[in-house]
Amino acid sequence: MAYDDLRDWIKALDRAGELKRIHTEADPILEITEIADRVSKSRDKHGNIGGKALLFENVKGYAGAKLLINQFGSAKRMRMALEVDSLDKIADRIRAFMDVKSPQGFLDKVKMLPMLAEMGKFFPKTVPTGPCKEVIKRDNFSLLDFPILQCWPKDAGRFITLPCVITRDPKTAKRNVGMYRMQIYDGKSTGMHWQRQKVAAEHYRERLRQSMSPQGGSARAAVDIMARSSGGSVLAEGDRPAGRMDVAVAIGTEPALTFSAIVPAPPDVEEFIIAGFLRQKPVELVKCETIDLEVPADAEIILEGYVNLDELRTEGPFGDHTGFYSLEDEYPVFHVTCVTHRNDPIYATTVVGKPPQEDAWMGKAVERIFLPLMKLTIPELVDVNLPIEGVFHNLMIVSIRKSYPGQARKVMNAIWSLGQAMFTKCIVVVDEDIDVHDLADVTLKALNNIDPERDIQFTLGPVDSLDHAARLANYGSKMGIDATRKWSTEGFSRPWPDEIVMDAKTRALVDGKWKALAKELGE
């Protein structure tokens, strides 16, 4: 059964021995980060990395408060969060839905009824009220009432790091749930770091387009405002858009919904539906008090508010998942109009920094679960590996079933056309018989298989906003490496050598002697 809420998830972690309660006083300014960072990089007696989930129950300056961190911080806990013993099971469920063909007749339609009924379970439902409404504060509230972390010494301040940010598409009315860091400016306002390519940023731009007069080039100003924002937040009087956009933030949701906020979902698919699919149970929503949005009924904390369309403010620096500080830039400002929360709310947060951190395991789950969707577009794809040290947008290793010359380059360009995969800085393409998760074998085969001048290609295009090495913000070069075996039809006229492999007869002979040999070898 799906977890009811964050508290139900914490109980499950406790029962499984995956939670440590920390009673020693710890400061949310830097100290909790240092503790969590050490734990996230620790190994258990079996060599598994990630440490335990941590529930801090003695947060300095916040008597009685509880803070949860590292909840997703291992491969095991990521599987627990999604209630499977293998992430491939979720991929198989996605594949089953993709294999459904349009019904051709009455019997086919009847056969589809059970699947349609199952799909109906995934859609969110609105309920009259929920635990997130146990306390409602329209006045006399402060964000600083919560133990929000400052993670790293050069951070611009405290940041909310695990929020589910909810916006609505001004054209379609579909909701989006994204995860964007939020710098605390004061008790009632934060930065809203939705990067230019994120869905919420597009909602913001669409509101700008709708709000601007078509006269005097203002429509173009609306489209370009975010691209121009690094020059400052003051716009020419004729270009100043009017109005605001409602935004809600849920902190401390059940694990499937928190995870859904980071998945690269198509813009037309609400993350509430994805969460319902993952947990096999609909997400219950309640209406906000001061804005026209719905929020998770069982969340620990809800922040209601808006961003003004004519207001940008400096946000950052921030110690990011690349292992470096992302530099300051201009972003919209989120103004809080109401705070609702459960009695004695648990503040859920995370730390990003040099990998491995908690986000590494969330990213690896995305890799496994969404492989079938990549194969839908790139059918020759066999497997994918986004190494944790590549911070998910710096390196992708893919294996393909090669059928024609130049196919590796076709795959590279296909990946660069796929949503968030367009930011991938380096793509290495290998043959299907190479295990992309065996980095030693990939290194051996790839470096042996390439002629650098022939097999490396470069292209220009959008890059991740956090790429500090790019020639321009959000724009730079990407590299693809064709490490597949080369064919004569690709202009390779030399013979390709065989890989060194012992014959089966000799291997079997030594297998029979190995027990005795092992004793002599002291193994």
The pLDDT tens digits of the residues spanning 265-321 come to 777 789 999 999 999 999 999 999 999 999 999 999 999 999 999 999 999 999 999
**177 with 270: CB under 8 angstroms?**
yes
pLDDT score for 231: 36
Tens of pLDDT along 79-88? 999 999 999 8
Q: Which two tokens stand for residue 380?
A: 């020759």
pTM for the whole structure: 0.89
**96 with 89: CB under 8 angstroms?**
no
pLDDT score for 214: 55
pLDDT score for 406: 96
Angle, alpha carbons 125-131-136 (nearest 5°):
110
Buried b or exposed e, range 188-210, using 16+ CB within 10 angstroms: bbbbbbbbebbbbbbbbbbbbbe
pLDDT score for 264: 84
Tens of pLDDT along 175-201? 999 999 999 999 999 999 998 888 999
Angle, alpha carbons 336-340-345 (nearest 5°):
115
- Mean predicted lDDT score pLDDT of the chain: 90
Name 107's Cβ contacts closer than 8 Å, sequence gap at least 6: none
Average pLDDT value for residue range 150-156: 97
**108: pLDDT strictly greater than 80:** no
pLDDT score for 217: 44
Catalytic residue selected from 320, 383, 464, 467: 320
Distance of CA 435 to the CA centre of its chain: 24
What is the Cα–Cα distance from 176 to 164, expressed in whole angstroms?
9
Bridging pattern class, strands 381-385 and 346-348: unpaired
pLDDT score for 211: 84
Instruction: Work out the number of other CB atoms within 10 angstroms of the CB of residue 172.
Output: 11
pLDDT score for 75: 93
Q: Give the three-state DSSP class for 187.
A: coil
Average pLDDT value for residue range 481-493: 94
**119: pLDDT strictly greater than 60:** yes
Average pLDDT value for residue range 53-78: 97
pLDDT score for 229: 46
320: annotated active-site residue? yes
**53: pLDDT strictly greater than 70:** yes
pLDDT score for 218: 47
**235: pLDDT strictly greater than 80:** no
What is the Cα–Cα distance from 207 to 201, expressed in whole angstroms?
10
Average pLDDT value for residue range 369-376: 88
pLDDT score for 215: 47
pLDDT score for 400: 98
**Which domains are seen in the chain, by residue range?**
110-348 (2.30.110.10), 358-490 (3.40.1670.10)
